[in-house]
């Protein structure tokens, strides 16, 4: 049974300069963390020159395809009929990424096949999570 989904997509990284760059991004979903999705940016697309991953709510991504969603570090909103904007807010600044809404829908459909929306709680490993919490900092 599939428990992890990875999907490569193209994204346009919006900068303050007029140049708009296309970068490969990897979307990832792991059934072991059923409420979250991860978006990984390759080293050449980051200020630090290392791969950077952002993890945020699956529901945030789903909701943001239809209406502006999010108030914290990650915000998702429709841009036009074909694209969705995802904003990443960090102390270093804001990264704005334009992605194909169809690609995001395709990713979320694949995710829904392994963990249907609304049933994420059934896939939580509470014993493992509690053990991690009780263990404290390493």
Please say whether the beta carbons of 100 and 9 come within 8 A: yes
Please say whether the beta carbons of 30 and 42 come within 8 A: no
With a cut of 60, say whether residue 14 has pLDDT above it.
yes
CA distance linking residue 6 with residue 27, whole number of Å: 6
- The confidence score (pLDDT) of residue 12 equals 81
User: What's the pLDDT tens digit per position in 27-56?
Assistant: 999 999 999 999 998 887 777 778 889 999
User: What's the pLDDT tens digit per position in 50-69?
Assistant: 888 999 999 999 999 999 99
pTM: predicted TM-score of the whole model, two decimal places: 0.81
pLDDT band at 19 (very low <50, low <70, confident <90, very high): low
CA distance linking residue 45 with residue 37, whole number of Å: 20
CA distance linking residue 136 with residue 95, whole number of Å: 32
User: What's the pLDDT tens digit per position in 74-126?
Assistant: 999 999 989 999 999 988 788 899 999 999 999 999 999 999 988 888 878 76
């Amino acid at each position: 049974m599939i428990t992890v989904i990875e999907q490569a997509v193209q994204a346009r990284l919006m900068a303050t300069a007029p140049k708009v760059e296309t970068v490969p991004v990897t979307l990832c979903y792991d059934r072991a963390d059923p409420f979250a999705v991860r978006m990984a940016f390759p080293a050449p697309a980051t200020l630090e020159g290392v791969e950077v991953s952002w993890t945020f709510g699956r529901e945030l991504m789903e909701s943001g395809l239809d209406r502006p969603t999010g108030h914290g570090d990650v915000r998702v909103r429709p841009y036009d009929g074909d694209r969705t904007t995802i904003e990443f807010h960090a102390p270093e600044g804001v990264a704005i990424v334009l992605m194909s809404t169809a690609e995001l829908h395709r990713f979320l459909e694949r995710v829904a096949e392994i963990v249907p929306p609304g049933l994420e709680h059934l896939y939580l490993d509470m014993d493992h999570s509690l053990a991690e919490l009780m263990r404290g900092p390493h």
